[in-house]
Amino acid sequence: MQIIRDLEALAGEVFALRASQGENRGDRVALVPTMGALHAGHMALITEAKRRADRVVATIFVNPLQFGADEDLDRYPRHEAADAEMLRQAGCDLLWMPSVGDIYPEGFATTVSVRGLSERWEGEARPGHFDGVATVVARLLLAVKPDVALFGEKDFQQLAVIRRMADDLGLGIEIVGVPTVRDEDGLALSSRNAYLSADQRKRAVALPQALAAARDAILSGEPVDAALAGAKEAIRAAGFSSIDYVALVDAGTLEPLEEPRGAMRLIAAATIGGTRLIDNIAVATGQSPRASSPR
């Protein structure tokens, strides 16, 4: 695996990846953008990228634009050497680790904003967050020019925003969502799980468990508002100090639903200790309740 940091070298290296396929130089390149602190969830993205493309490019860039004034930019975990080794072992072909100056050079004055999908849920809880996400992802996509880019479904609203942005800007890049990877007890893998104490980690599993219970209740005919109230009660009882939202939403528009209809997602964000966790699971009419685990 080659590692580069220089933006000026990137285009040539990606061209070389395509050219290295010889007569098949038109074969596909996949991009997996990350902020580092990699775990098995990121490796699932690499695995799926290798299935969908001939060459895989990963990026590590802790994006300052998507952190609010009171959020954890400075203490966000950074493990470049360990991350690079994980990517190498997973079969990544090229790792690009740009500087802030590469992504936002002096005088940079453009922000990408996706209206509608960005305005509820995480958009309300973290003002400006999705402008930062859409802007950096646009920069990465335009720099690498992949055929396909892969993102985790754990950040479900982010995935929806990126899909809309890529479609609206006519980037011609396939945006693929990869199912959430979970620990054995069901907690979604996240770089921020490292902030949890041992006790908080044990109690954090109440978040996916509450979503699974709400899904089962809704599919069994319980009113949506009652199922959501039960989920919030279970999350609070586990020791979460605050809940930003627990909602049943349309999987395409992310608009809240008062009754089950079509493809849906249960989404949630809550804080335990000083760590804010998000999660979501799929809900579909016709899906059997008591599914074995959240998805």
End-to-end CA distance of the chain: 32
Amino acid sitting at position 22: G
Number of H helices, E strands in the chain: 10, 9
Query: Active-site residue among 39, 42, 79, 129?
Result: 42
Provide φ and ψ at 265, rounded to 5°: -135, 140
Distance CA 295, CA 284 (A): 12
- 133, two tokens: 């996400």
* Residues forming beta bridges with residue 152, ordered by sequence position: 178
Query: Would you call 284 exposed, middle or buried from its count of C-beta atoms within 10 A (0-12, 13-18, 19+)?
Result: middle
Residue bearing tokens 């680790």 = 97
CA 232 to chain centre: 23
Distance CA 123, CA 115 (A): 10
Amino acid sitting at position 226: A
- To the query of whether residue 42 is one of the catalytic residues in this protein, the response is yes
Asked whether the CA dihedral 145, 67, 105, 6 is positive or negative, the reply is negative
Report the 10 Å Cβ neighbour count for 64.
14
For residue 202, the surrounding DSSP H or E stretch is helix 198-204
Report the relative pairing of strands 275-284 and 263-272 from DSSP bridges.
antiparallel
Residues carrying an active site annotation: 42
